[in-house]
Structure 1
Amino acid sequence: MRALLKLSGLIDAVNDGIGKLTYWLVLVAVVVSSGNAVIRYTLNTSSNAWLELQWYLFSAVFLLCAGYTFLRNEHIRIDIVIGRFSKRVQSWVDIFGILFFMFPMTILIMVLSWPMFWDSYVSNEMSSDAGGLVRWPAKLLVPVGFFLLTAQGVSELIKRIAYLTGHRDEPGEKMHSHS
Protein backbone atom coordinates (compact mmCIF):
# COMPACT_ATOMS: atom_id res chain seq x y z
CA MET A 1 0.00 0.00 0.00
CA ARG A 2 2.95 2.30 0.67
CA ALA A 3 3.99 2.13 -3.00
CA LEU A 4 0.43 2.86 -4.13
CA LEU A 5 0.26 5.88 -1.82
CA LYS A 6 3.55 7.14 -3.33
CA LEU A 7 2.02 6.71 -6.78
CA SER A 8 -1.03 8.63 -5.57
CA GLY A 9 1.22 11.41 -4.29
CA LEU A 10 3.03 11.56 -7.65
CA ILE A 11 -0.27 11.76 -9.57
CA ASP A 12 -1.47 14.47 -7.18
CA ALA A 13 1.75 16.44 -7.69
CA VAL A 14 1.52 16.19 -11.50
CA ASN A 15 -2.11 17.32 -11.59
CA ASP A 16 -1.43 20.07 -9.06
CA GLY A 17 1.48 21.36 -11.13
CA ILE A 18 -0.45 21.20 -14.40
CA GLY A 19 -3.42 22.91 -12.77
CA LYS A 20 -1.29 25.76 -11.45
CA LEU A 21 0.47 26.19 -14.80
CA THR A 22 -2.85 26.19 -16.57
CA TYR A 23 -3.98 29.17 -14.47
CA TRP A 24 -1.71 31.23 -16.71
CA LEU A 25 -3.66 30.11 -19.78
CA VAL A 26 -6.65 31.99 -18.37
CA LEU A 27 -4.59 35.18 -18.39
CA VAL A 28 -3.35 34.46 -21.92
CA ALA A 29 -6.94 33.84 -23.05
CA VAL A 30 -8.06 37.16 -21.54
CA VAL A 31 -5.20 39.04 -23.19
CA VAL A 32 -5.85 37.39 -26.58
CA SER A 33 -9.59 38.01 -26.32
CA SER A 34 -9.14 41.63 -25.24
CA GLY A 35 -6.51 42.29 -27.87
CA ASN A 36 -8.68 40.76 -30.55
CA ALA A 37 -11.66 42.89 -29.51
CA VAL A 38 -9.61 46.10 -29.40
CA ILE A 39 -8.11 45.43 -32.85
CA ARG A 40 -11.49 44.46 -34.29
CA TYR A 41 -13.24 47.60 -33.06
CA THR A 42 -10.44 50.15 -33.47
CA LEU A 43 -8.85 48.95 -36.71
CA ASN A 44 -11.92 47.22 -38.12
CA THR A 45 -9.96 44.04 -38.82
CA SER A 46 -9.79 40.59 -37.33
CA SER A 47 -8.27 37.17 -37.83
CA ASN A 48 -9.82 33.74 -37.51
CA ALA A 49 -6.54 32.55 -36.02
CA TRP A 50 -7.06 34.79 -32.97
CA LEU A 51 -10.63 33.60 -32.54
CA GLU A 52 -9.54 29.97 -32.80
CA LEU A 53 -6.68 30.58 -30.39
CA GLN A 54 -9.26 31.80 -27.87
CA TRP A 55 -11.23 28.56 -28.01
CA TYR A 56 -8.02 26.48 -28.00
CA LEU A 57 -7.01 28.22 -24.77
CA PHE A 58 -10.46 27.77 -23.24
CA SER A 59 -10.39 24.09 -24.20
CA ALA A 60 -6.93 23.70 -22.67
CA VAL A 61 -8.05 25.26 -19.39
CA PHE A 62 -11.18 23.13 -19.21
CA LEU A 63 -9.57 19.82 -20.20
CA LEU A 64 -6.17 20.12 -18.52
CA CYS A 65 -7.69 21.25 -15.22
CA ALA A 66 -10.20 18.39 -14.90
CA GLY A 67 -7.77 16.25 -12.88
CA TYR A 68 -6.72 19.27 -10.83
CA THR A 69 -10.37 20.03 -10.10
CA PHE A 70 -10.91 16.44 -8.94
CA LEU A 71 -7.78 16.61 -6.75
CA ARG A 72 -9.04 19.77 -5.08
CA ASN A 73 -12.53 18.34 -4.63
CA GLU A 74 -14.10 21.12 -6.68
CA HIS A 75 -16.02 18.82 -9.02
CA ILE A 76 -19.75 18.21 -8.98
CA ARG A 77 -20.75 15.87 -6.17
CA ILE A 78 -23.82 14.39 -4.59
CA ASP A 79 -23.01 15.83 -1.15
CA ILE A 80 -26.65 16.63 -0.45
CA VAL A 81 -27.27 12.88 -0.32
CA ILE A 82 -24.01 11.40 1.01
CA GLY A 83 -23.01 14.31 3.26
CA ARG A 84 -25.17 12.80 6.01
CA PHE A 85 -23.29 9.51 5.99
CA SER A 86 -20.05 8.59 7.77
CA LYS A 87 -16.72 9.13 6.05
CA ARG A 88 -16.46 5.35 5.54
CA VAL A 89 -19.78 5.24 3.65
CA GLN A 90 -18.75 8.34 1.69
CA SER A 91 -15.51 6.59 0.72
CA TRP A 92 -17.43 3.52 -0.47
CA VAL A 93 -19.74 5.73 -2.55
CA ASP A 94 -16.71 7.46 -4.07
CA ILE A 95 -15.06 4.12 -4.87
CA PHE A 96 -18.23 2.89 -6.54
CA GLY A 97 -18.60 6.12 -8.54
CA ILE A 98 -14.98 6.12 -9.67
CA LEU A 99 -15.02 2.45 -10.72
CA PHE A 100 -18.43 2.23 -12.36
CA PHE A 101 -19.07 5.73 -13.69
CA MET A 102 -15.89 7.77 -13.99
CA PHE A 103 -13.42 5.18 -15.31
CA PRO A 104 -15.71 3.76 -18.04
CA MET A 105 -16.50 7.28 -19.27
CA THR A 106 -12.97 8.69 -19.18
CA ILE A 107 -11.37 5.60 -20.70
CA LEU A 108 -13.98 5.48 -23.48
CA ILE A 109 -13.41 9.14 -24.32
CA MET A 110 -9.62 8.64 -24.36
CA VAL A 111 -9.91 5.60 -26.62
CA LEU A 112 -12.34 7.28 -29.01
CA SER A 113 -10.51 10.63 -29.16
CA TRP A 114 -7.03 9.28 -29.84
CA PRO A 115 -7.71 8.22 -33.47
CA MET A 116 -9.31 11.62 -34.15
CA PHE A 117 -6.17 13.35 -32.87
CA TRP A 118 -3.86 10.98 -34.74
CA ASP A 119 -5.67 11.41 -38.08
CA SER A 120 -5.53 15.17 -37.62
CA TYR A 121 -1.83 15.07 -36.75
CA VAL A 122 -0.84 12.78 -39.63
CA SER A 123 -2.78 14.84 -42.18
CA ASN A 124 -1.70 18.15 -40.59
CA GLU A 125 -5.38 19.13 -40.57
CA MET A 126 -6.00 22.85 -40.85
CA SER A 127 -9.05 24.83 -39.92
CA SER A 128 -11.53 25.22 -42.73
CA ASP A 129 -11.80 28.93 -41.88
CA ALA A 130 -9.57 31.36 -43.75
CA GLY A 131 -6.46 32.09 -41.72
CA GLY A 132 -7.34 29.39 -39.21
CA LEU A 133 -4.93 27.30 -37.17
CA VAL A 134 -3.73 23.72 -37.37
CA ARG A 135 -6.27 21.47 -35.57
CA TRP A 136 -4.25 18.64 -34.06
CA PRO A 137 -3.10 20.52 -30.91
CA ALA A 138 -6.71 21.16 -29.94
CA LYS A 139 -7.62 17.55 -30.64
CA LEU A 140 -4.69 16.33 -28.54
CA LEU A 141 -6.13 18.15 -25.53
CA VAL A 142 -9.04 15.70 -25.33
CA PRO A 143 -7.14 12.44 -24.72
CA VAL A 144 -4.52 14.22 -22.59
CA GLY A 145 -7.15 15.92 -20.42
CA PHE A 146 -9.09 12.71 -19.92
CA PHE A 147 -5.86 10.83 -19.18
CA LEU A 148 -5.09 13.34 -16.41
CA LEU A 149 -8.63 12.95 -15.06
CA THR A 150 -8.36 9.14 -15.15
CA ALA A 151 -4.99 9.27 -13.41
CA GLN A 152 -6.47 11.47 -10.69
CA GLY A 153 -9.28 8.96 -10.37
CA VAL A 154 -6.65 6.27 -9.73
CA SER A 155 -5.10 8.49 -7.07
CA GLU A 156 -8.43 9.16 -5.38
CA LEU A 157 -9.29 5.46 -5.50
CA ILE A 158 -5.97 4.60 -3.82
CA LYS A 159 -6.56 7.21 -1.10
CA ARG A 160 -10.05 5.93 -0.31
CA ILE A 161 -8.95 2.29 -0.22
CA ALA A 162 -6.01 3.27 2.00
CA TYR A 163 -8.41 5.03 4.35
CA LEU A 164 -10.79 2.08 4.48
CA THR A 165 -7.96 -0.39 5.14
CA GLY A 166 -6.41 1.78 7.87
CA HIS A 167 -3.31 2.77 5.90
CA ARG A 168 -4.24 6.42 5.85
CA ASP A 169 -5.86 8.77 8.31
CA GLU A 170 -9.46 9.86 8.00
CA PRO A 171 -9.97 11.57 4.63
CA GLY A 172 -10.58 14.90 6.34
CA GLU A 173 -12.30 17.98 5.08
CA LYS A 174 -10.37 18.16 1.81
CA MET A 175 -12.09 15.00 0.59
CA HIS A 176 -15.58 16.40 1.09
CA SER A 177 -15.11 20.10 1.66
CA HIS A 178 -18.32 21.27 -0.06
CA SER A 179 -21.84 20.58 1.07
Structure 2
Amino acid sequence: MYAAVFMLCAAYTLAKDEHVRVDIFYSKLKDRHKIIINVIGSLLFLIPVCLCILYYSFTYVINSWAQLEGSLEERGLHAVYLLKTLIWAFAIMLVLQSIYIISQGSLKLFRKYY
Protein backbone atom coordinates (compact mmCIF):
# COMPACT_ATOMS: atom_id res chain seq x y z
CA MET A 1 0.00 0.00 0.00
CA TYR A 2 2.94 2.34 0.55
CA ALA A 3 3.91 1.79 -3.05
CA ALA A 4 0.41 2.80 -4.16
CA VAL A 5 0.66 6.09 -2.27
CA PHE A 6 4.13 6.71 -3.68
CA MET A 7 3.03 6.02 -7.26
CA LEU A 8 -0.11 8.12 -7.01
CA CYS A 9 1.67 11.10 -5.45
CA ALA A 10 4.84 11.17 -7.56
CA ALA A 11 3.41 13.36 -10.34
CA TYR A 12 1.82 15.74 -7.83
CA THR A 13 5.13 16.07 -6.01
CA LEU A 14 6.86 16.75 -9.33
CA ALA A 15 4.24 19.40 -10.17
CA LYS A 16 4.90 21.16 -6.86
CA ASP A 17 8.69 20.84 -7.41
CA GLU A 18 9.06 19.09 -4.06
CA HIS A 19 11.19 16.10 -5.05
CA VAL A 20 14.44 15.71 -3.15
CA ARG A 21 17.43 17.22 -4.92
CA VAL A 22 21.10 17.45 -4.24
CA ASP A 23 21.22 21.22 -4.02
CA ILE A 24 24.95 21.69 -4.30
CA PHE A 25 24.65 23.67 -7.53
CA TYR A 26 20.94 23.89 -8.36
CA SER A 27 19.95 26.26 -5.56
CA LYS A 28 22.59 28.79 -6.64
CA LEU A 29 21.56 28.84 -10.30
CA LYS A 30 19.50 31.54 -11.97
CA ASP A 31 15.88 30.73 -12.76
CA ARG A 32 16.67 30.46 -16.47
CA HIS A 33 19.29 27.78 -15.85
CA LYS A 34 16.97 25.88 -13.50
CA ILE A 35 14.34 25.80 -16.24
CA ILE A 36 16.89 24.51 -18.74
CA ILE A 37 17.98 21.76 -16.34
CA ASN A 38 14.36 20.74 -15.68
CA VAL A 39 13.53 20.63 -19.40
CA ILE A 40 16.65 18.64 -20.30
CA GLY A 41 16.16 16.32 -17.33
CA SER A 42 12.58 15.64 -18.35
CA LEU A 43 13.54 14.99 -21.97
CA LEU A 44 16.63 12.88 -21.36
CA PHE A 45 15.76 11.03 -18.18
CA LEU A 46 12.16 11.20 -16.96
CA ILE A 47 10.27 10.51 -20.19
CA PRO A 48 12.56 7.68 -21.38
CA VAL A 49 12.47 5.98 -17.97
CA CYS A 50 8.68 6.23 -17.81
CA LEU A 51 8.37 4.84 -21.34
CA CYS A 52 10.63 1.93 -20.34
CA ILE A 53 8.44 1.32 -17.29
CA LEU A 54 5.36 1.26 -19.52
CA TYR A 55 7.01 -1.04 -22.05
CA TYR A 56 8.44 -3.56 -19.61
CA SER A 57 5.41 -3.64 -17.33
CA PHE A 58 2.92 -4.18 -20.16
CA THR A 59 2.80 -8.00 -20.09
CA TYR A 60 3.18 -7.99 -16.30
CA VAL A 61 0.01 -5.93 -15.84
CA ILE A 62 -1.92 -7.60 -18.68
CA ASN A 63 -1.20 -11.07 -17.28
CA SER A 64 -2.29 -9.94 -13.84
CA TRP A 65 -5.60 -8.68 -15.26
CA ALA A 66 -6.09 -11.84 -17.31
CA GLN A 67 -5.85 -13.94 -14.14
CA LEU A 68 -7.62 -11.37 -11.93
CA GLU A 69 -4.65 -11.95 -9.69
CA GLY A 70 -5.10 -11.92 -5.95
CA SER A 71 -2.79 -12.51 -3.05
CA LEU A 72 -1.82 -16.06 -2.11
CA GLU A 73 -2.19 -15.18 1.55
CA GLU A 74 -5.55 -15.74 3.23
CA ARG A 75 -5.72 -12.18 4.53
CA GLY A 76 -3.87 -10.69 1.59
CA LEU A 77 -5.11 -8.25 -0.96
CA HIS A 78 -7.83 -9.61 -3.18
CA ALA A 79 -7.25 -7.38 -6.20
CA VAL A 80 -3.51 -7.30 -6.78
CA TYR A 81 -4.14 -6.59 -10.45
CA LEU A 82 -5.49 -3.16 -9.49
CA LEU A 83 -2.30 -2.35 -7.63
CA LYS A 84 -0.21 -3.48 -10.58
CA THR A 85 -2.22 -1.15 -12.80
CA LEU A 86 -0.89 1.71 -10.71
CA ILE A 87 2.46 1.09 -12.40
CA TRP A 88 0.91 2.35 -15.62
CA ALA A 89 -0.85 5.22 -13.87
CA PHE A 90 2.46 6.21 -12.26
CA ALA A 91 4.34 6.27 -15.55
CA ILE A 92 1.57 7.98 -17.53
CA MET A 93 1.07 10.72 -14.93
CA LEU A 94 4.80 11.40 -14.80
CA VAL A 95 5.01 11.60 -18.60
CA LEU A 96 2.09 14.04 -18.66
CA GLN A 97 3.67 16.14 -15.92
CA SER A 98 7.03 16.15 -17.69
CA ILE A 99 5.32 17.31 -20.92
CA TYR A 100 3.84 20.15 -18.90
CA ILE A 101 7.27 20.99 -17.44
CA ILE A 102 8.81 20.99 -20.92
CA SER A 103 6.07 23.14 -22.43
CA GLN A 104 6.00 25.65 -19.58
CA GLY A 105 9.77 25.80 -19.43
CA SER A 106 10.01 26.35 -23.17
CA LEU A 107 7.41 29.12 -23.02
CA LYS A 108 9.27 30.85 -20.20
CA LEU A 109 12.60 30.57 -21.99
CA PHE A 110 11.40 31.77 -25.38
CA ARG A 111 9.08 34.46 -24.04
CA LYS A 112 12.10 36.41 -22.81
CA TYR A 113 13.63 36.47 -26.28
CA TYR A 114 10.56 37.58 -28.26
Q: TM-score, normalised by structure 2?
A: 0.88
- Secondary structure of the corresponding residue to residue 25 of structure 2: helix
- Secondary structure of the corresponding residue to residue 111 of structure 2: coil
The offset of 1:129, in angstroms, is 1.3
Question: Corresponding residue for 1:67?
Answer: 11
Q: Does 1:149 align with 2:91?
A: no
- What aligned pairs does 1:10-159 form with structure 2 within 5 A after superposition? 55=1, 58-132=2-76, 133-159=78-104
Question: Corresponding residue for 1:19?
Answer: none
The offset of 1:59, in angstroms, is 2.4
Cα contact 1:114–1:140 (8 A) shared by 2: no
Gaps of 5+ in 2: none
The offset of 1:60, in angstroms, is 2.2
C-alpha distance after superposition, 1:80-139 (max 9, x if no partner): 212222111111111111111111111111221222111110111121112431310010
- Secondary structure of the corresponding residue to residue 165 of structure 1: helix
Cα contact 1:124–1:136 (8 A) shared by 2: yes
Gaps of 5+ in 1: 1-54, 168-179
What is the percentage of aligned positions where both structures have the same residue? Answer: 26
Give the Cα–Cα distance (whole angstroms) in 2 for the partners of residues 131 and 92 of structure 1: 49
- What aligned pairs does 1:166-177 form with structure 2 within 5 A after superposition? 166=111
Structure number with greater CO (CA < 8 Å, separation at least 6) is 2
Give the Cα–Cα distance (whole angstroms) in 2 for the partners of residues 64 and 110 of structure 1: 15
The offset of 1:154, in angstroms, is 0.6
Q: Which stretch shows the higher mean deviation, 122-131 or 145-154?
A: 122-131
Question: Corresponding residue for 1:163?
Answer: 108
Question: Corresponding residue for 1:31?
Answer: none
Give the Cα–Cα distance (whole angstroms) in 2 for the partners of residues 107 and 158 of structure 1: 18
Computing the radius of gyration from Cα coordinates, the structure with the larger value is 1
